[in-house]
């Protein structure tokens, strides 16, 4: 935008400078290296001009002006350090200090406090104010945030951040004048996004973190810039430690793709890595079934010998591998190389199988690139944004912030197809910002997407040139959607024709439109087809090729995208390239010095089936935990118990690792170097922030060590050498810096798709499959992602467990009333699979006849779910069940107990 706007020339303290029209004077000064002192100004927030600290003199204006709210004008002459400006600042400080407790020595902010710095600079040592200082008691805002309002300078940055950026509106100012204090709305516990933003943005020490209170002074901290490993947004974080103790994680303004914002997991979740339960020594199973701690040499030797033996007696394909997407690109690459080269099998899969693969396959098929063709900056420029089954605020909170910004600042029109009610509370809810919220019945996104396409085709929203260039494509879709009636769509998805048509119109008519697709589509049966239908929608409306428009699939794992690109999934070589891609086979053969294996690949469900049938004798599981990430009826434990030899490499002794014969202690992402590829496709550096705990080592070192012991050395001196090799295999990998442009749609692939490619399955994709009706009186129970957790890993983080420490059944008040239950009461869930007793939490964003349960605590309810596997992409789908809910009281229990006796 800045290149189109006119430039304005002005002089600041004698320095002439040119800045775009509309720039604030304080920003213009910053650009020429003059820091005008300020409290209430923050680049992320709208000017508020309440603190008067930033006063400057502007020629021809009689009074001093606040530079944080004055915009530049042609020929302006600004003076920021003349005596009467300085004396004005001095008085402002005097006023603030008049009521400040001056407890800098014990304040956690002391040493990095704006008030302290400016006081040193302007030294108002005497004060003319004689009033008594106010004394507020210290307050805890929930389990992790505390306030000490004596220190507050009433700049309102926290309140404004919480409202303008987070859209949570959890904070407010109370009282007036000197007794103004910041507090939260209701009750004792603060319930909000817990993003830590108010702590970061407070210029003084009035809001601080309870997790590290009084543990440190800022000057003791050593800092490392790395990437958060809790979700696919890939936020840049600054890990701060005192000696080897983790003290704090924050993020600097302007840093990374998150521009200094974090979510609760990034800000408060850092303790997971130093949990006392970490495996710190290699473990080997003894004859009596217990684990013994052994040396690395012994453990590696044992594994190498067993792998060699099994390979020799049963062939390469008797060994399979699974890896988590929390690993770095280097780990993932080396793992698949180890499996393909040293073991000689293609039977590998990763956490991308849980859903991300559906998106990548569809993108590759239609647009020829596996990455987003848009980036966060395009969200800010978009005229319309459509979210389909994302629950983006919970799964990808920073992507959600970009969406919020686009809507609140730039007026983008938001269309949401989500299964949650647009209810406002002090926890932000993306659907409340929506212009057209389509409340899709849980799990019925197929009908909703079909409706969108139908609306576009039938309301003449198809772009003329598309109809001209690909008449057959348009015609086929037209005939297909004509077969489905609006009544059927309403019946299944709960959406009315008019609503869908308005939403479709908003999307189609926008100049730049971005679609974000989330887990409810990606992790559903037929997910690939649904994303393909959304791609069709883009083609029909002409958005596919328009710059600034595009579709993105939200990656949940920190390196889902990287796992696919590194070839750590069944269907791809690094690139990703198909297993039959000759070009890729040639490159790999040349780089690896050996032909790529020809055996059949195996996806996660296939690996488990083959293990159960005895075709696979040994598994190498790196960080993945199928026992706990698949339901009981998936038969994972049977599969693992049937193995001759199981090796796990993990941070913790998970349910899967407990079944292993050898467990290698792995490093957390904070303890190693490497790269992550975020959901947008940005490759970012992960840097070692703390020393590996105990004997744990980075994953790649173990693959390398095993390869040496198995007489097939693939050795590297450091992680950078692996990255270099990746670059050789995937030319230009990781060159996508923040300034670069995203990949373009591949025209040849699109042309091929619209002329013939679509025919393959178009008839199946545009049908409504009869979904199993819920039994009478049953509630739909869904395992959902909680904002405060990520997978099972985050349940080891002290701070996050204090925020949400147990799984509770979320139902809305109407449903609770119908069931006659109240908050905190215990209910019993039951269906054919089993039963569970859980306590209830009221949550008004849960739709009627639905209950949510956080998947991170699914242990007690897992028996209620049963596994379905997508026949095409083998994505395991199991997070919805139908249950009956009954009130559970101690009398019930005694009846139960008596009947058991």
Residues of this chain that bind ligand FES (CB under 6 A): 38-41, 49-54, 66, 68
Our CA dihedral for 758, 764, 765, 766, rounded to 10 degrees, sits at 110
805 vs 789: CA distance, rounded Å: 10
The listed partner (ligand SF4, another protein, ligand FES, none) that binds 197, CB under 5 to 8 Å by sort, is ligand SF4
| Smallest separation (angstroms) from another protein to the CB of 424 | 24
Kindly write down the DSSP assignment for every residue of 15-40, as one continuous string.
EEEEEETT-BHHHHHHHTT-----SS
193 binds ligand SF4 per the rule CB under 6 A: yes
113 vs 205: CA distance, rounded Å: 7
403 binds ligand SF4 per the rule CB under 6 A: no
258 binds ligand SF4 per the rule CB under 6 A: yes
| Smallest separation (angstroms) from ligand SF4 to the CB of 202 | 3
Residue 218 or 860: the one with the smaller Cβ distance to another protein is 218
Residue 39 or 161: the one with the smaller Cβ distance to ligand FES is 39
| Nearest one of 483, 364, 466, 359 to 766, comparing CA atoms | 483
239 binds ligand SF4 per the rule CB under 6 A: no
Long-range pairs for 49-56 at CB < 8 Å and ≥24 separation? 50/154, 50/155, 50/156, 51/92, 51/153, 51/154, 51/155, 52/88, 52/92, 53/89, 53/92, 53/93, 53/118, 54/26, 55/85, 55/88, 55/89, 55/92, 56/25, 56/29, 56/80, 56/85
| Smallest separation (angstroms) from ligand FES to the CB of 818 | 51
781 binds ligand SF4 per the rule CB under 6 A: no
| Smallest separation (angstroms) from ligand FES to the CB of 48 | 7
The listed partner (another protein, ligand FES, ligand SF4, none) that binds 51, CB under 5 to 8 Å by sort, is ligand FES
The listed partner (ligand FES, another protein, ligand SF4, none) that binds 258, CB under 5 to 8 Å by sort, is ligand SF4
| Smallest separation (angstroms) from another protein to the CB of 103 | 5
713 vs 724: CA distance, rounded Å: 18
The listed partner (ligand SF4, another protein, ligand FES, none) that binds 153, CB under 5 to 8 Å by sort, is ligand SF4
Question: Which of 100, 265, 371, 796 is the binder for ligand SF4 (CB under 6 A)?
Answer: 265
SS3 of residue 517 by DSSP: strand
| Smallest separation (angstroms) from ligand FES to the CB of 26 | 7
Q: Which residues bind another protein (CB under 8 A)?
A: 101-106, 110, 133, 135, 137-140, 148, 150, 188-189, 213-215, 217, 219-220
234 binds ligand SF4 per the rule CB under 6 A: yes
The binding track of 154-173 with respect to ligand SF4, each residue x by CB under 6 A or -, is: xxxxx--xx---x-x-xx--
The listed partner (another protein, ligand SF4, ligand FES, none) that binds 52, CB under 5 to 8 Å by sort, is ligand FES
563 vs 561: CA distance, rounded Å: 5
899 vs 527: CA distance, rounded Å: 45
Round to the nearest angstrom and report the end-to-end CA distance of the chain.
75
Q: Taking a C-beta distance cutoff of 8 angstroms, is the pair 682, 736 a contact?
A: yes
The binding track of 732-751 with respect to ligand SF4, each residue x by CB under 6 A or -, is: --------------------
Rounded alpha-carbon distances, angstroms, from residue 757 to 473, 748, 760, 851? 10, 11, 6, 40
In terms of DSSP H, where are the helices of 746-809?
747-755, 762-765, 798-803
Which residue shows structure tokens 């050898």?
662
Residue 137 or 593: the one with the smaller Cβ distance to another protein is 137
The two three-digit tokens of residue 780, written as one number? 């739909």
The listed partner (another protein, ligand SF4, ligand FES, none) that binds 233, CB under 5 to 8 Å by sort, is ligand SF4
In total, the chain counts a number of residues equal to 901
Question: Which of 68, 211, 263, 783 is the binder for ligand SF4 (CB under 6 A)?
Answer: 263
803 vs 453: CA distance, rounded Å: 41
Question: Which of 25, 53, 204, 553 is the binder for ligand SF4 (CB under 6 A)?
Answer: 204
Residue 42 or 278: the one with the smaller Cβ distance to ligand FES is 42
42 vs 31: CA distance, rounded Å: 15
141 vs 164: CA distance, rounded Å: 20
Given the rule CB under 6 A, which residues bind ligand SF4? 152-158, 161-162, 166, 168, 170-171, 182, 192-198, 201-204, 206-207, 228, 230-231, 233-235, 258, 262-263, 265-266, 397-398, 790
């Amino acid at each position: 935008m800045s290149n189109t706007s006119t430039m304005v020339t002005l002089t600041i303290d004698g320095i002439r400078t040119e800045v775009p029209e509309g720039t604030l004077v304080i920003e213009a000064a910053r650009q020429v290296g003059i820091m005008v002192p300020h409290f209430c100004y923050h680049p992320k927030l709208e000017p508020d001009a309440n603190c008067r600290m930033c006063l400057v003199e502007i020629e021809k204006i009689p009074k001093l002006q606040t530079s944080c709210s004055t915009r530049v004008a042609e020929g302006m002459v600004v003076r920021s350090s003349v005596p009467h400006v300085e004396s004005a600042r001095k008085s402002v400080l005097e006023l603030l200090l008049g009521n400040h407790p001056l407890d800098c020595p014990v304040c956690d902010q002391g040493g990095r406090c704006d008030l302290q710095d400016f006081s040193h600079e302007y030294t108002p040592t005497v004060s003319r104010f004689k009033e008594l200082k106010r004394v507020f008691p210290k307050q805890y805002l929930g389990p992790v945030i505390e306030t000490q309002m004596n220190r507050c300078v009433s700049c309102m940055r926290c309140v404004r951040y919480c409202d303008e950026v987070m859209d949570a509106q959890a904070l407010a100012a109370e009282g007036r004048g000197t007794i103004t204090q910041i507090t939260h709305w209701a009750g004792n516990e603060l319930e909000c996004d817990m993003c830590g933003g108010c702590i970061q943005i407070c210029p003084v020490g009035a809001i601080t973190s309870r997790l590290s209170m009084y543990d440190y002074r800022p000057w003791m901290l050593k800092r490392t810039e790395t990437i958060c490993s809790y979700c696919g947004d890939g936020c840049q974080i600054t890990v701060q430690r005192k000696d080897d103790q983790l003290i704090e994680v924050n993020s600097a303004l302007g840093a990374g793709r998150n521009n200094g914002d974090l979510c609760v997991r990034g800000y408060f979740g850092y303790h997971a890595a130093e949990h006392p339960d970490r495996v710190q020594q290699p473990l080997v199973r003894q004859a009596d079934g217990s684990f013994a701690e052994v040396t690395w040499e012994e453990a590696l030797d044992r594994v190498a010998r067993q792998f060699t033996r099994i390979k020799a007696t049963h062939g390469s394909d008797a060994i399979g591998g699974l890896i988590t997407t929390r690993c770095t690109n280097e780990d993932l690459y080396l793992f698949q190389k180890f499996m393909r080269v040293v073991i000689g099998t293609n039977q590998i899969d990763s956490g991308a199988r849980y859903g991300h693969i559906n998106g990548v396959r569809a993108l590759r098929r239609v647009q020829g690139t596996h990455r987003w063709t848009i980036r966060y900056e395009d969200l800010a420029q978009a005229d319309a944004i459509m979210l389909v089954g994302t629950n983006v605020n919970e799964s990808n909170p920073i992507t959600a912030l970009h969406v919020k910004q686009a809507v609140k600042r730039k007026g983008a029109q938001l269309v949401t197809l989500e299964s949650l009610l647009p209810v406002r509370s002090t926890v932000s809810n993306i659907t409340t910002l929506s212009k057209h919220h389509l409340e899709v019945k849980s799990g019925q996104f197929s009908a909703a997407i079909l409706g969108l396409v139908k609306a576009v085709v039938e309301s003449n929203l198809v772009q003329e040139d598309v109809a001209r260039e690909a008449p057959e494509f348009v015609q086929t879709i037209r005939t297909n959607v004509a077969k489905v009636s609006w009544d059927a769509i309403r019946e299944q998805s709960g959406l009315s024709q008019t609503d869908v048509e308005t939403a479709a119109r908003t999307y189609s008519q926008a100049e730049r439109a971005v679609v974000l697709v989330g887990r409810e589509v990606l992790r559903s049966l037929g997910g690939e087809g649904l994303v393909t239908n959304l791609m069709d929608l883009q083609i029909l409306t002409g958005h596919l090729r328009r710059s600034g428009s595009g579709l993105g699939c939200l990656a949940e794992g920190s390196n889902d995208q990287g796992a696919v690109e590194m070839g750590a999934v069944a269907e791809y070589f690094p690139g990703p390239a198909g297993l039959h891609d000759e070009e890729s086979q040639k490159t790999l053969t040349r780089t690896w010095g050996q032909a790529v294996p020809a055996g059949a690949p195996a996806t996660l469900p296939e690996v488990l089936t083959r293990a159960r049938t005895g075709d696979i004798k040994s598994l190498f599981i790196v960080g993945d935990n199928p026992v706990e990430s698949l339901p009981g009826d998936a038969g994972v434990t049977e599969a693992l118990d049937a193995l001759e030899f199981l090796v796990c490499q993990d941070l913790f002794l998970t349910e899967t690792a407990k079944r292993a014969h050898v467990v290698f202690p792995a490093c957390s992402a904070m303890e190693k170097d490497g790269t992550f590829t975020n959901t947008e496709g940005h490759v970012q550096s992960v840097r070692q922030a703390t020393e590996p705990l105990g004997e744990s080592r980075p994953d790649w070192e173990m693959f390398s060590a095993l390869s040496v012991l198995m007489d097939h050395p693939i050795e590297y001196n450091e992680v950078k050498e692996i990255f270099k090799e990746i670059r050789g295999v995937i030319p230009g990998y990781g060159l996508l810096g923040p300034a670069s442009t995203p990949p373009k749609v591949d025209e040849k692939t699109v042309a091929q798709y619209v002329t013939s490619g679509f025919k393959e399955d178009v008839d199946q994709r545009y049908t409504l499959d009869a979904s199993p009706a819920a039994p009478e009186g049953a509630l739909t129970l869904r395992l959902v992602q909680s904002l405060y957790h990520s997978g099972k890993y985050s349940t080891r983080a002290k701070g996050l467990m204090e925020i949400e420490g147990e799984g509770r059944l979320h139902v809305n008040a109407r449903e609770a009333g119908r069931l006659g239950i109240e908050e905190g009461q215990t209910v019993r869930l039951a269906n054919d699979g089993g039963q569970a007793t859980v306590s209830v939490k009221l949550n008004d964003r849960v739709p009627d006849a639905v209950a949510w349960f956080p998947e991170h605590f699914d242990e007690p309810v897992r028996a209620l779910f049963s596994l379905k596997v997508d026949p095409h992409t083998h994505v395991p789908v199991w997070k919805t069940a139908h249950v009956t809910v009954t009130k559970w009281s101690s009398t019930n229990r005694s009846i139960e107990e008596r009947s058991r006796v």
